[in-house]
Amino acid sequence: MRPQNGLRTGLAAALTSAFVRPIANAIPANRVGVAFSRAFIASSLWLASPPLKGSRVEPGIRGEWVRAPEVTEDNAVVLYLHGSGYALCSPRTHRGLTTRVSAGTGLPVFACEYRLAPGHRFPSAADDVRAAYDRLLGQGYRRILVAGDSAGGHLAVDLAAQLIRERKDPPAALALFSPLFDLTFSLAAQRERMSPDPMISAAAAARLVGLYTVDADLASTRLRFAFDDIKGFPPTIIQAGGLEMLAADAIELARALRRAGADCELEVVPGQMHVFQALTRFIPEAAPAMERACRFLTGNLPAIVRAA
């Protein structure tokens, strides 16, 4: 007999806390540690959330195109920005997520392969994301949605904010899974004092992100979002797990967007871990959460304008 949903979720969190967190906290934030982490996370994600069977993956410029089996429309696109501290992961590690975003929206997904730290520092990743967005526009896409997890969520917000500041059209909508908001990790550290994150400590996560932000001004509007000068931010859905330290970031980001007048839906799902949407084999709540996020994205997609 399979454990009930709540028991399965609790068991997954307990096992993660017992085995993953000690490893994540012990890995040094240097090139050797990053190399080990990349291999460890790649194998873990493939086990936890394999790509949907029948999905097509094709190479693109600095990224890859992902299409779920039922995707036939090509009149809009989702730009996906993977996470893992600006230093780990790639479009390949996130195919479990990107194939499901494609299936849930019925649209092709372009997963951006941005440059990673420690070899490339701020603003390399953000510049690559902007270049990917501009290429999609150049390819004729005028209806662009953006989704991202963790650090990819931070990159997604930066992209939309910069486009608005330049008086250019931002994405139609954003879906952010456990987005990083406070790069100092002070919000995360405060929440961690109430309950440890099952995956990693705030200090270890800060060291990893620091490989990207070293020598950067963390008070920059590209890194510390205030939205004081932002009007017309895209509709956004934010999802986070109740057990993770970045739930604090999700809550504060939602507050900041709402203060700026944005339409922002926030879901902090009790008992869930960081980017739980990627843990489809172990977390029953993963698939429903992804479905809700995809409905939000497509629900905010502008209608196709037909030529007269």
> What residues are labeled active site?
150, 244, 274
Contact 224, 216 (CB under 8 A): no
In order, the DSSP letters of 104-162 are: HHTS-EEEE----TTTS-TTHHHHHHHHHHHHHHHTT---EEEEEETHHHHHHHHHHHH
Query: Where does the chain show beta strands of DSSP type E?
Result: 56-60, 63-67, 77-81, 109-112, 144-149, 174-177, 236-241, 264-269
Burial 128-151 (b: 16+ CB within 10 A, else e): bbbebbebbeeeebebbbbbbbbb
Rounded to 5°, the CA angle 177-157-126 comes to 105
Residue 101: name the closest of 151, 31, 148 by CA.
Answer: 148
Bridge partners for 240 per DSSP: 268
CB 245 within 8 A of CB 202: yes
Q: How far apart are alpha carbons 67 and 24 in whole angstroms? A: 32
Q: Are 140 and 286 in contact (CB under 8 A)?
A: no
Strand arrangement of the beta sheet that strand 264-269 belongs to? 56-60, 63-67, 109-112, 77-81, 144-149, 174-177, 236-241, 264-269
Query: Which residues face 266 on adjacent strands?
Result: 238
Q: Judging by DSSP bridges, how do beta strands 144-149 and 77-81 pair with one another?
A: parallel
Distance CA 8, CA 3 (A): 6
